[in-house]
Amino acid sequence: MSWTSARLSSRGDDMTDQRVVWGVGTSRTIRVHWALIELGLNYEIKPIRPRTPAMDDAAFLAVNPRKKVPALQDGKLTMTESPAIVTYLAERYSTDTVRLIPKSIEDRARYFEWQSFITMELDATSLYVLRRHVDLPGIYGEAPVAEETARAYFERMITAAAPDVAAGGQYLLGDTFSGVDILMQSCLFFAERYNFELPSEINDYRERVTARPGYAKALSANNP
């Protein structure tokens, strides 16, 4: 057994063929629900929400000692980090009919480039800074300068990315929907609460992505 699989299988129950998603109600949790739904996979939902007593449940702590949602159990594999989970599901379960990650090295390079941009530049260094200091100042403190610069940074990044979003085709990687569209829309949804004025290319893209039947199902799964 390799080091990685030994580590992964040591967390949580020793399941063989069950698929369980822990976490609902956030822009990170919807990513996992949406990927599973687009791929047509059945799964069980453990509807726990951040910063609630359910996060201290021993069963959840065994799955994710970092106390963060989402977490996925897929058979013997237990993993966290929503972008990694989406990409894992895409790698493992894409078919010729539904493919959430491209096959060619060149197209995969674009996938990983978008993944990094969305999760680092849009999410971690912009939106999550706003989340912490605008919505949760009781935990993370007030930080008006950080708020202002995070807001300006998000606007600069999304404006600079807008021509690339429009150039790809219907979706970020062309005319095939993929895991990075899930990540991007989850950030655009997250951004709505902070009243950004988005470039028209981004608004048009958002309309295309949210028109997918899978998105409506993911919203329901994420808000049980």
Ligand X SMILES: N[C@@H](CCC(=O)N[C@@H](CS)C(=O)NCC(=O)O)C(=O)O
DSSP single-letter state for residue 223: -
With left for phi above 0 and alpha for psi between -120 and 50, is residue 193 left, alpha or beta?
A: alpha
Segment 102 to 121, residues that bind ligand X, using CB under 6 A: none
Segment holding 181, helix H or strand E: helix 179-192
Compute the least distance from the CB of residue 26 to ligand X, in Å. Answer: 4
Segment 13 to 72, residues that bind ligand X, using CB under 6 A: 26, 28, 50-51, 67-70
Compute the least distance from the CB of residue 85 to ligand X, in Å. Answer: 7
Compute the least distance from the CB of residue 140 to ligand X, in Å. Answer: 10
- Residue with smaller CB distance to ligand X, 22 or 162: 22
- Residue with smaller CB distance to ligand X, 65 or 163: 65
Segment 72 to 101, residues that bind ligand X, using CB under 6 A: 81-83
Total chain residues near ligand X (CB under 6 A):
11
- Residue with smaller CB distance to ligand X, 64 or 162: 64
- Residue with smaller CB distance to ligand X, 154 or 162: 154
Segment holding 80, helix H or strand E: strand 77-80
Q: Give phi and psi for 178, each to the nearest 5.
A: -145, 180
| Residues constituting the chain | 224
Residue 79: name the closest of 12, 179, 148 by CA: 12
Instruction: Give the span between the Cα atoms of 206 and 184, in whole angstroms.
Output: 9
Compute the least distance from the CB of residue 90 to ligand X, in Å. Answer: 15
Compute the least distance from the CB of residue 101 to ligand X, in Å. Answer: 17
- Residue with smaller CB distance to ligand X, 83 or 199: 83
Segment holding 19, helix H or strand E: strand 19-22
Rule CB under 6 A: which residues touch ligand X? 26, 28, 50-51, 67-70, 81-83
